[in-house]
Structure formats: structure tokens, C-alpha cells
Amino acid sequence: MASVREFTLPDLGEGLTEATVVRWLVTVGDVVAVDQSVVEVETAKALVDVPCPYGGVVTARYGAEGAEIPVGAPLLTVAVGASQESPPGGAGSANGHVPAADGTAGTGGTSGTSGAGAADGEAAGGESSGNVLVGYGTGAPAGRRRRARPRPVGGSAVPEERAPRTAPVPAASPGPQTSAPEASAQRGPVAVISPLVRRIAREHDLDLRAVSGSGPDGLILRADVERTLRSRTETAGTTAPAAPATAPAAPSAPETATATRIPLTGFRGTVADKLSRSRREIPDATCWVDADATELLAARRTMNSATGVGGPSGSPGATAEGAPRISLLALLARICTAALARFPDLNASVDTDAREVVRHSEVHLGFAAQTPRGLVVPVVRGAHALDTAGLSQELARLTERARTGELTPADMTGGTFTLNNYGVFGVDGSTPIINHPEAAMLGVGRITEKPWVHEGQLAVRSVVQLSFTFDHRVCDGGTAGGFLRHVADCVEQPAVLLRTL
């Protein structure tokens, strides 16, 4: 006989509590091996392939693509052969075997052993899983089991491939009350293995819990389902109740416009929560200044052409000697780290519970990057210890990982200050929302040619608008203005940076 193992969504780390199903990698009836990836989910911070710690036949999937599943909720159930695993005694039939389930999420009964979740920590056949995520893994010692909570028939966890159940057919006369063993069986797993049997039941809206199996240990066969369907048809034809008189339904109001509702789940939901919290908790203020970036652009051209760009391989991202090409964002990042060294009050956060300002000794510089998934903020760790070339390399590496969707949660957490180059969108200025729990953000608009007074003469210069948003709890306007003025001086006269090199 086969037993059914229920695989629940594991804890994917970083304190995440739910994930969104992006793409199923298996279907009902597929045979899966231990550690085979079965579903791709999107957490608040990354895309993750989730491996299954059991080997066997997939009997049910929970949640359609796009559905949000909390940690600990069922992902799928797998029928594991008796040769692979001995089911726990006392669950299922009288001889101790647990028949395969149809995929309903029943873990009922008082034993709490049917449909064991991923936290069991033991793979079928004693295999050791090499693909372990936080919270489960077949190679790890079995952790504390979660107490199975009895669920009513037709509970909230319903397989995504199963059609909704119809209301029970009214009986012609009241029958005897269901005995205690029968009620317990209704709450337990359904004894069915064949995908064909499940498909026939779905097509006819038949609840398999109402079917008595004639196979070994109560296994539901195709003949049992067909017999139940014939009986239901005959009963419906002979005892069809008269339709109760009801008042005519009020006509629904015609829709004047078509609206599309997009759920704020997964990554977008996390972004929305974080921005809302920032607006709710941080008393922010913004100041800005225009700066002449002509000399900064000239300095960048000099850096990239000092040894000739291109090299033998013609790579546009390196000089002839293999040195990394210096990006404008890297220069701005280097200016930020120099300014934060001069104004350390701004490299901070506020502990609201302790009512303390926490000043950080290291600069972990976040930078805003637009990706197909939306806006992400990768973090350059230890940015204060990197020179301009090192910052350019790290910014390029993280930008590529963001573009390909390979950023991990660790790549996007722990920032202490953010640089936002919204000039790539062709806009001059903005008042950005601070990336909670940080205390400040520097925004850089587009660089465009404008008339500018230079050395007493009107000239066309490359001008950029710099905006600085800060948490007024960590500093006053004088500190914020001094920081922004120092950044503008470095943009206009890059030689100012030589003081800190």
C-alpha cells in the first residue's frame, strides 16, 4: 500500500511568512524524486525553486499560479509506496496503513499523523536530501512536529485542480446518525490513488469523501465512483424537491467601466508595506540644489580613456589593461561615502522602541535599480572601504544580478544609506521616500545642458539637480544642508575628493 505525505511550504528564511506561486513544475500524476524542484515561488525578496523532500506520485497541488500561500500551508501531497516508507501505526485503516489521499488537506482525526508535513525531516525510503531550505530538509534530524489541527470537511486548503463541491443531495427521509468511526473516517485522508478516479470525480463534482471504497483497505476504485454517480442520478430523479418560492432577484447594477484589480502580494506587497511604513513613521524633509556636473563628466572621461577603452577583446566594460570602466553611478557613490564620513549623523537609523538613534560605523550603500519585477534596492556592503573602481565593479555585478532576477534576500537587506539615480528616467527632480529604516537618501536627476554662469561668463554647461531627503529625527537642517552642499561641491569640483583619498 501507499501512504500520502503532505508537503507544506517551508520557512524560506529572512522572517518571510508567505510566498506566491509563480509556476508549477509538476502536475497531478507526475512521479517526483527526492529533492526534485516542484514549484517556483516568489517571496517578498526573491524567486525560489522549492524542492520536495519526498519521492512518489503527486496526488494533489494546492494553490493556482498567482495564489499566495502562507508558510506551513500545504503545497502538494505525494503518494509514497509501501516499499519506500512504513506509515505510522494507528492512522488510516485498522491494519495501520494510511491509504493515499485525493489531495484534500485533511489532517483530521485525533492521531495527527496523516498527511505529515515537511517538518517531519525524513524522506521516503530513508534517502537524505541534499537540497535543504530553512525549516525543512530530509537530511536533518527530525524537528518538533507541528500538532495537526482538525479541519472540517471541505476546509480552507483545497487543491487548486479540484472543482468546487456541490451541496449534498437531500435525503428522502432522515436516516440514522453517523457513527463515531464513520465521522472519524470522513475527517481523515481519502483512500484513492488513481489520477483517473480523481478526474472522474472532479468532472462530476463528486466529493470522494462520500464514496465507500471496495478495494483493499477501503481503496476507492473507478467502479465505486461510477456506482456512486449512478446512485446519485437515480436519487436526484426520484426525490427532486420542489423549488422554494423566492422573491425575484434584484437586477444588478450595470458596470459603467471595466476595472482591473491587482493584488498587492509577494514582492509588490512588501514594497507597498515598506513605503507605507516609511511615510507613517519617518518625519522626512527634502532639500535640493542644482550643480554643474561638467567637470565630473570630464573626470570620468579621463579615467576611462587614460589607458584606452576597449582592449584586445574589445570589451566595452574594461580598459585595455583589464581595469573596470568607471561608471557615473560609481563616482556618485564615492562622493556619497566621502560625504557620510564627514557627516556621520546621516548614516544612521532610529530605534523607535528604545527611542535611540543608532549611528552605523560602516556604510552599506543601497542603490535603486529598475527591473522587470519592479524597483529593487541592492546593497553594496562595506562601500566606505571601496575605491571608485571597486564600487564600479560591485555596482555592475549587483545590477546584472538584479536584471536577471538572481538577487538573494541578503543582497537587498542591511542598507544604511541609499543613492537613487532617477535621472535615467529623464526627470530632473524628485522627493523620494526614505528606504525604511534608513535615515536619508540622495536623489540624482538627469544631467542636461543649460545656460550657466561659469567664471563670470554665461556658458552652456552640464547641470544636474540633486535632492536630499532625510529623517528630521536624526539631524537638523544644518547637517542635511551641509551634506548636500559637500556633495554638490564634489560634483562641481571632483578634485575636492582628493582630500579624502
Which residues share a beta bridge with 42?
Answer: 20, 47
Q: How far is CA 137 from CA 34, 51, 53, 124, 197, in A?
A: 10, 9, 7, 12, 32
Q: For this structure, is 472 an active site residue? A: yes
The bridge status of strand 448-454 relative to strand 457-471 is antiparallel
3-state secondary structure of 206: coil
Q: Is 210 helix (H, G, I), strand (E, B) or coil?
A: helix
DSSP for 75-127, written as a single string: EEEEEEETTT-PPPTTSSSTTS--PPP-S-----SSS--TT--GGG---GGGP
Catalytic hit among 97, 436, 472, 486? 472
| Cell numbers at 263, concatenated | 493584488
Cell triple for 220: 476507492
Q: Which amino acid is at 9?
A: L
- Please tell me the distance from the alpha carbon of residue 325 to that of residue 309, in angstroms, as a whole number: 8
3 state SS of 168: coil
Determine contact, residues 289/491, Cβ cutoff 8 Å. no
Residues involved in catalysis: 472
